[in-house]
A and B are shown apart, each in its own frame.
Chain A
């Protein structure tokens, strides 16, 4: 065999090994994350570690996306008409993603206006003296109009020992609204057994984003 042929053979072997390495690396270090999506018009995936904001776009009916192990991604979606636009994270621990956007703010607002009398009645039923101590805020609907969270703002002096704003969570069961989380400062799974963790976390999130400390110091 000529020296030239040997060189070509060795080069081809090196290329084959390099290609095999990258192919093996791709298939052993990436994984498919199954998607279950509805009520969206588009999707895009962005590597969260990269500064570049643009990502790979996918059709609304995409069934899975391929991601590198150990990386975190942001999967953004645009909701269909009447549905919210938002995003979800795909972390190294994410096994699958379900995207079922909530209603848009405008749609929730219309639904809430209709539901408010029943919601107020349910809160009065669970806490009959609520109006004596608190003002019921307007609150928010979630979960396609099936969950409702609101804050109860203390009416008395702000330096009362128990002047805390409370939060409550209601669920729509059939056509009826029921208080699932009695007005409280914070909700824990241990104190609310029988209530789903999703609901408890949503109630806490609502509280933490709407009840913020004042800047003034005690001293």
Chain B
């Protein structure tokens, strides 16, 4: 009885040891295999489409890749190949691939009652991700336009007509004192004015005339 107890204890000890070793091994594996990479959520519909990243086949789900620009595609016979170019970053890590049905068979598939809501879900997640990325790139935009009539100032924004990814912050309806307050308001939002493109409406630098 005592010998069998001892054997049991040894077995439990060995089992615990194996569990600890496996756990440590798993931690080391995760740390090394995902080191420097970002987990990107990839969704696709039809779910049996062939999904590729930069031409290499992958499975939908979470894939780990290096930050930077990557091309994701989803191909399926009878569907127009979906292409998404994503600049993967810690704030930009979702891809929703929706190949468009083209053949009669594909259109029949798309007409099924449960397909449309699923496509809508993915499209909605894609729009949310794009919105979050725009906010991440331009965190001030979520607060704009902003009016402070007592300061006074208005902080607004506009897009560059030639490059719509470039935004300008416009400080207007202001006085010298209001402009100081406007810049302080931007800093209070945790945003460094040095990172923005700022223009002032109503201010003319007297020294610029001679510069």
Q: A17-B16, A183-B207 are in contact. Are A211 and B194 (CB under 8 A)?
A: no
Q: Whole-angstrom distance between the alpha carbons of A134 and B210 in the complex?
A: 14
Interface residues on B, range: 35 or more
Q: Which residue of A lies closest to B10 (CB)?
A: A9
Q: Mark B10-53, 1 if CB is under 8 A from A, else 0.
A: 00010010001000100100000000000000000000000000
Nearest CB in chain B: distance from A162 CB, A: 5
Q: A127-B210, A213-B184 are in contact. Are A24 and B194 (CB under 8 A)?
A: no
Q: Which residues of B contact A (CB under 8 A)?
A: 2-3, 5-6, 9, 13, 16, 20, 24, 27, 149-152, 175-181, 183-184, 187, 192-198, 200, 202-211
B183, A185: Cβ atoms under 8 Å? yes
Q: A213-B184, A217-B150 are in contact. Are A20 and B20 (CB under 8 A)?
A: yes
Set of chain A residues within 8 Å of B211, measured between Cβ atoms: 126-127, 182
Main secondary structure of the interface of A (DSSP, over half): loop
20 additional A-B pairs beyond A161-B204, A200-B194, beta carbons within 8 Å, are A13-B13, A24-B24, A127-B210, A130-B207, A133-B206, A160-B176, A161-B202, A182-B211, A183-B205, A183-B207, A184-B205, A186-B198, A188-B193, A188-B195, A201-B192, A208-B184, A213-B180, A213-B184, A214-B177, A218-B177
A1, B6: Cβ atoms under 8 Å? yes
Nearest CB in chain B: distance from A149 CB, A: 14
Q: A165-B176, A208-B183, A218-B175 are in contact. Are A182 and B193 (CB under 8 A)?
A: no
Q: Whole-angstrom distance between the alpha carbons of A128 and B211 in the complex?
A: 8
Nearest CB in chain B: distance from A3 CB, A: 9
B177, A6: Cβ atoms under 8 Å? no
Set of chain A residues within 8 Å of B209, measured between Cβ atoms: 129
Q: Say if the beta carbon of A150 comes within 8 Å of chain B.
A: no
Q: Which residue of A lies closest to B20 (CB)?
A: A20
Q: Say if the beta carbon of A212 comes within 8 Å of chain B.
A: yes
Q: Whole-angstrom distance between the alpha carbons of A208 and B185 in the complex?
A: 11
Q: Which residue of A lies closest to B204 (CB)?
A: A162
Set of chain A residues within 8 Å of B181, measured between Cβ atoms: 213
Set of chain A residues within 8 Å of B149, measured between Cβ atoms: 219
B197, A127: Cβ atoms under 8 Å? no
Q: Could you say which of A79-87, A98-106, A189-197 contacts chain B?
A: A189-197
Q: Whole-angstrom distance between the alpha carbons of A12 and B189 in the complex?
A: 54
B198, A1: Cβ atoms under 8 Å? no
